[in-house]
A and B are shown apart, each in its own frame.
Chain A
């Protein structure tokens, strides 16, 4: 029989034939990006592929390096807020809050923030978190060809943008939070509008989950793709939904609770396998948890004439406009504040909050003047993106799309 085999195949075994006769195929080097739809316009990957399998990918970020740090060093503490808006531009409120908390820590007024201000901060942060996840999940679905779920989510996001605009005056770049509180109080009846929209968002979520969750095509695209082991995830410093999908039980809101999170009840979802499908599920679950937090906040939001939206500390807050118009002391205080900025005592502090993508930290070095001496931001996107090089190894080119989508690489945050 063996002879027959040799006769037919010219080889002892089929395996031998495969190995010996395979032509060495050439590797191809392709530029993916910077201007590639899956690269969000800001990343270039120099891919080395064998057929469509990725042998090596050199990720080159930096196409959106807008010099956040350098700009901050030349801006007063208040002027940095617009810059923080544009870090993670999908959830700007959280950046605002994180930065404000870092400055407050340096000023030593963390405990003195009015409770209403804390609640408002948490409310807008959670709304921002929902917009972040809606955008991330929607955009990933779109990049996988599901245009309709994307537009449903955009519709829902639009409702939240309108609400955020009513609060802050801008749809996206709010610059709403201030050191010591928030710049304006919530408008009347805003919470009711928000609660009504939350119900509608839940309805949209049901529809989109029907379209995606169990869809075999979608699942096959996500499940088993971009798997990251827990050890690797820890070593690469993954946090947020991406880290939790890998099974890292870490959420800043839970482990280092800040603001009023100790008073709230919510669940932290954890994935099992660390693939893209888990990341998707974690994000979807986090939207639901944020909705839950918002409903609790609506019940607990302190109201009443005595509740302030910003701290009444002459070092930090602008005097009320009425006083600035009328009294000379307030006028001088106002001018000092505008021209010199908030005087932050020398020192350094690292403050971190749970951003839309993970641990968003601000490391500020103050030198006693009105401008930060250094304002480093620990951006989760940058950290997560650094892991992609390893993740995408041996995947297909098509897998870059879900991997990138679910990492939720935000150019502004990644490249600072």
Chain B
């Protein structure tokens, strides 16, 4: 696939670009003159006709062909949806532990790293041994979030993710955009990142 293109034969053409100089740092880099068409080559009628030809081609094909043969790329959004790629950073979610409780241990990494300071965590003590704290409040203001994904990178226990594959909804009032802990947990799922288990490095999979 990669080698199949003859573009590198660019300079083999007799009418290749005029080479002005060759770089002393890298002999394979040349300086070329851009080919400026002569004024005679640009005329009102001929060039207009050529341009009309291009648009006419698109018009005819798009109007009279079956949809799949056309150039048309439009997706009828609310009905058809573009499938977001796996890495798409969408709405946040909070992952669950095996017992359904929130994975987050309120270590405050994500609010620290968030450049927009859109995450608010109020930690509370928990009687769970091993994990000392849990977030009593976990709120993300989606209207502040700049979708940089640093919080996901910063989380040391795979509690917060942005891989929901859905985007944040537009809102009519500012406060509606605040995702509370319950909403975030609703989107969440049981984390595969078992402590000490194999599935921990879920980002590692390509």
Chain B 1-28 interface mask (CB, 8 Å, partner A; 1/0): 1110101101000000100110101101
State whether the Cβ of A207 lies closer than 8 Å to any Cβ in chain B. yes
| Contact indicator A326/B29 (Cβ below 8 Å) | no
Contact of A265 among B21, B28, B206 (CB under 8 A): B28
Chain A 226-252 interface mask (CB, 8 Å, partner B; 1/0): 000000000000000000000001000
Contact of B3 among A173, A175, A267, A299 (CB under 8 A): A299
Instruction: Give the contact stretch, choosing among A17-25, A330-338, A396-404, A408-416.
Output: A330-338
C-alpha spacing A256/B43, complex, angstroms:
42
Q: Which A residue's beta carbon lies closest to that of B32?
A: A267
Q: Which B residue's beta carbon lies closest to that of A178?
A: B153
C-alpha spacing A117/B148, complex, angstroms:
20
Contact of B26 among A167, A170, A254 (CB under 8 A): A254
Count, A-B residue pairs, CB within 8 A: 204
| Contact indicator A281/B206 (Cβ below 8 Å) | no
C-alpha spacing A264/B28, complex, angstroms:
7
| Contact indicator A261/B87 (Cβ below 8 Å) | no
Q: Which A residue's beta carbon lies closest to that of B8?
A: A292
State whether the Cβ of A60 lies closer than 8 Å to any Cβ in chain B. no
State whether the Cβ of A36 lies closer than 8 Å to any Cβ in chain B. no
Q: Could you say which residues of chain A place their CB within 8 Å of the CB of B195?
A: 325-326
Q: How far is the CB of A203 from chain B (nearest CB, A)?
A: 10
- Kindly identify, within residues 173 to 218 of chain A, every residue whose CB is under 8 Å from any CB belonging to chain B: 173, 175, 183-188, 191-192, 195-196, 199, 207, 210-217
Instruction: Give the contact stretch, choosing among B47-55, B122-130, B133-141, B177-185.
Output: B47-55
Contact of B200 among A191, A326, A334 (CB under 8 A): A326
State whether the Cβ of B112 lies closer than 8 Å to any Cβ in chain A. yes
Q: How far is the CB of B34 from chain A (nearest CB, A)?
A: 4
State whether the Cβ of A291 lies closer than 8 Å to any Cβ in chain B. yes
Contact of A272 among B30, B36, B84 (CB under 8 A): B36
If A214-B42, A215-B51, A335-B109 touch, whether A75 touches B147 (CB-CB below 8 Å) is no
State whether the Cβ of B193 lies closer than 8 Å to any Cβ in chain A. yes
Q: Could you say which residues of chain A place their CB within 8 Å of the CB of B69?
A: none
C-alpha spacing A262/B28, complex, angstroms:
9
State whether the Cβ of B113 lies closer than 8 Å to any Cβ in chain A. yes
State whether the Cβ of B37 lies closer than 8 Å to any Cβ in chain A. yes
| Contact indicator A175/B20 (Cβ below 8 Å) | no
| Contact indicator A320/B201 (Cβ below 8 Å) | yes
State whether the Cβ of A268 lies closer than 8 Å to any Cβ in chain B. yes
Q: Could you say which residues of chain A place their CB within 8 Å of the CB of B170?
A: none
C-alpha spacing A167/B149, complex, angstroms:
13
| Contact indicator B156/A175 (Cβ below 8 Å) | no
State whether the Cβ of A377 lies closer than 8 Å to any Cβ in chain B. no
| Contact indicator B193/A78 (Cβ below 8 Å) | no
Q: Which A residue's beta carbon lies closest to that of B3?
A: A299
Q: How far is the CB of A253 from chain B (nearest CB, A)?
A: 8
Q: Could you say which residues of chain A place their CB within 8 Å of the CB of B88?
A: 165, 169-170
Q: Which B residue's beta carbon lies closest to that of A337?
A: B154
If A325-B156, A335-B109 touch, whether A82 touches B87 (CB-CB below 8 Å) is no
State whether the Cβ of B86 lies closer than 8 Å to any Cβ in chain A. yes
| Contact indicator B148/A175 (Cβ below 8 Å) | yes
Q: Could you say which residues of chain B place their CB within 8 Å of the CB of A165?
A: 84-85, 87-88
The prevalent SS among residues of A at the interface is helix
Q: How far is the CB of B188 from chain A (nearest CB, A)?
A: 17
If A168-B87, A267-B32, A270-B31 touch, whether A291 touches B7 (CB-CB below 8 Å) is yes
Q: Which B residue's beta carbon lies closest to that of A82?
A: B148
- Kindly identify, within residues 55 to 105 of chain B, every residue whose CB is under 8 Å from any CB belonging to chain A: 55, 73, 84-89
Q: Could you say which residues of chain A place their CB within 8 Å of the CB of B156?
A: 324-325, 331, 334-335
Q: How far is the CB of B163 from chain A (nearest CB, A)?
A: 9
| Contact indicator A184/B203 (Cβ below 8 Å) | yes
Which of A78, A296, A321, A335 has the most chain B CB atoms inside 10 A of its CB?
A321
State whether the Cβ of A158 lies closer than 8 Å to any Cβ in chain B. yes
Q: How far is the CB of B138 from chain A (nearest CB, A)?
A: 17
Q: Could you say which residues of chain A place their CB within 8 Å of the CB of B35?
A: 281
Give 9 A-B pairs besides A214-B43, A215-B48, A267-B31 with Cβ atoms closer than 8 angstroms. Answer: A75-B115, A79-B113, A166-B85, A183-B153, A213-B42, A257-B25, A270-B33, A271-B36, A325-B193
Q: List 25 A-B contacts (CB under 8 A).
A: A165-B87, A167-B87, A169-B88, A169-B162, A170-B89, A170-B149, A175-B149, A183-B149, A187-B86, A195-B2, A195-B5, A219-B42, A249-B21, A253-B29, A262-B26, A271-B36, A295-B2, A295-B5, A299-B3, A320-B201, A325-B158, A325-B196, A325-B200, A326-B196, A335-B107
Q: Top 7 A-B pairs ranked by shortest CB distance?
A: A265-B28, A169-B87, A82-B148, A298-B2, A166-B85, A322-B200, A169-B89
Which residue numbers of A lie inside 8 Å of B, CB to CB?
Answer: 71, 75-76, 78-79, 81-83, 85, 148, 155, 158, 162, 165-170, 173, 175, 183-188, 191-192, 195-196, 199, 207, 210-217, 219, 249, 253-257, 261-262, 264-272, 277-278, 281-282, 285, 291-292, 295-296, 298-299, 318, 320-322, 324-326, 331, 334-335, 338-339
Which residue numbers of B lie inside 8 Å of A, CB to CB?
Answer: 1-3, 5, 7-8, 10, 17, 20-21, 23, 25-26, 28-37, 39, 41-44, 46-48, 50-51, 53-55, 73, 84-89, 107, 109, 112-113, 115, 146-150, 153-154, 156-158, 162, 193, 195-196, 200-204, 206
